[in-house]
């Protein structure tokens, strides 16, 4: 982990937008020792250069930018963030050592705390399976703002969420209108925005920016591959736009078949007794 990678080499490998280490250790790392890592720049009004373990990896990183996840060796990363073009030998605007566990899917976020001071945090993304027909929704509060409630379709889904905490739930897949309000009120701080929650995905919504500077915004990160097989009862039922209307009839048919089976068994038993 002490090897250093030049900016040119990092660019040629297409890893300028992520944390990475060069050298033979990376090339020979076992798949089980890898992690998937993304980086989100959520500090408004400041373009930065990001360094990891001494290497410049994300030059001219603009606010609101979220990198694609990349496979990296698990381990410890010393992160430093400088204002774009600043001397990397000087004092960084942000600095933190982040542990990336093997097998994890993680997002490193540079953001403002509740008081408007910049900080770095790493979040591990939940990529476990979700039930058939469902989608996972996670909200992370990384904005310079007080506690908030997050609503979907006008109804609170997460209440009293504080910076830099997160909350998660599983919901039926579909499109929902989401907004963020000050906790315990109907005062909209962000949104509304339509979220397309596809089946078998994890959808991470970041509330970021600054309330004081009127720069609050939402950023969504979507991870796929969390599909589950349909349950045994539903496996042969053809889905469609009218599922909600068709389901009672389908369930009734199953019930009639079961009742017919019971009556048939009773008749057979009666014959044997006779």
Averaged pLDDT, 116-120: 96
3-state secondary structure of 11: helix
Q: Are 45 and 156 within one domain?
A: no
Q: Are 144 and 209 within one domain?
A: yes
Structural domain contains residue 273: no
Out of 99-113, 203-217, 225-239, 245-259, pick the least confident: 245-259
Say which CATH number the domain at 74 has: 2.60.40
pLDDT digits (tens, 9 = 90+) for 261-272: 333 434 434 444
Asked if pLDDT for residue 246 goes beyond 60, the answer is: no
Q: Are 118 and 7 within one domain?
A: yes
pLDDT of residue 231: 54
Helix (H) or strand (E) holding 271: helix 243-273
CA–CA distances in Å: residue 244 to residues 129, 231, 259, 261 = 24, 17, 24, 27
CB 49 within 8 A of CB 58: yes
Q: Of 124, 144, 167, which marks where a domain is finished?
A: 124
Asked if pLDDT for residue 117 goes beyond 60, the answer is: yes
**Is cis: bond before 223, omega within 30 of 0?**
no
The pairing of strands 105-112 and 34-42 is: parallel
Q: Retrieve residue 107's tokens.
A: 């997002």
pLDDT of residue 229: 76
Q: Of 84, 105, 124, which marks where a domain is finished?
A: 124
Averaged pLDDT, 169-173: 96
Q: Are 119 and 143 within one domain?
A: no
Q: What range does the domain containing 32 cover? A: 1-124
Q: Are 3 and 115 within one domain?
A: yes
Asked if pLDDT for residue 51 goes beyond 60, the answer is: yes
Q: Are 109 and 165 within one domain?
A: no
Q: Are 17 and 112 within one domain?
A: yes
| pTM (two decimals) | 0.74
Q: Are 42 and 73 within one domain?
A: yes
Distance CA 16, CA 70 (A): 10
pLDDT of residue 228: 86
CB 57 within 8 A of CB 79: no
CB 192 within 8 A of CB 168: no
Out of 22-26, 135-139, 145-149, pick the least confident: 22-26
CA–CA distances in Å: residue 201 to residues 133, 167, 197, 208 = 10, 16, 7, 22
Structural domain contains residue 42: yes
Q: Are 70 and 142 within one domain?
A: no
Asked if pLDDT for residue 240 goes beyond 60, the answer is: no
Structural domain contains residue 235: no
Structural domain contains residue 274: no
**Closest-CA residue to 141 (of 214, 218, 208):** 208
pLDDT of residue 251: 33
Helix, strand and coil percent figures for the chain, each rounded to 5: 15, 45, 40
The number of folded domains in the chain is 3
């Amino acid at each position: 982990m002490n090897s250093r990678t030049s900016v040119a080499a990092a660019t040629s490998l297409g890893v300028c937008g992520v944390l990475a280490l060069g050298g033979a250790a990376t090339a020979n790392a076992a798949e089980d020792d890898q992690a998937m890592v993304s980086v989100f720049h959520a500090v408004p009004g400041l373009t930065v250069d990001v360094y990891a373990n001494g290497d410049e990896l994300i030059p001219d990183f603009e606010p609101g930018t979220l990198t694609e996840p990349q496979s990296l060796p698990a381990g410890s990363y010393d992160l430093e963030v400088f204002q774009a073009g600043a001397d990397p030998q000087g004092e960084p605007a942000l600095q933190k050592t982040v542990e990336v566990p093997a097998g994890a899917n993680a997002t490193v976020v540079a953001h403002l705390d509740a008081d408007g001071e910049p900080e770095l945090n790493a979040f591990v993304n939940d990529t476990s399976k979700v039930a058939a027909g469902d989608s996972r929704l996670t909200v992370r509060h990384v904005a310079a703002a007080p506690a908030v409630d997050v609503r979907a379709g006008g109804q609170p889904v997460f209440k009293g969420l504080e910076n830099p905490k997160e909350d998660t739930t599983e919901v039926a897949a579909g499109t929902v209108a989401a907004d963020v309000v000050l906790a315990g009120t109907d005062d909209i701080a962000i949104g509304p925005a339509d979220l397309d929650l596809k089946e078998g995905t994890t959808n991470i919504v970041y509330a970021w920016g600054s309330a004081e500077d009127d720069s609050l915004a939402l950023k969504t990160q979507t991870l796929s591959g969390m599909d589950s097989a349909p349950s045994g009862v539903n496996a042969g039922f053809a889905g469609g736009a009218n599922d909600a209307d068709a389901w009672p009839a389908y369930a009734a048919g199953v019930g009639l078949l079961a009742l017919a089976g019971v009556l048939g068994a009773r008749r057979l038993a009666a014959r044997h007794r006779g």
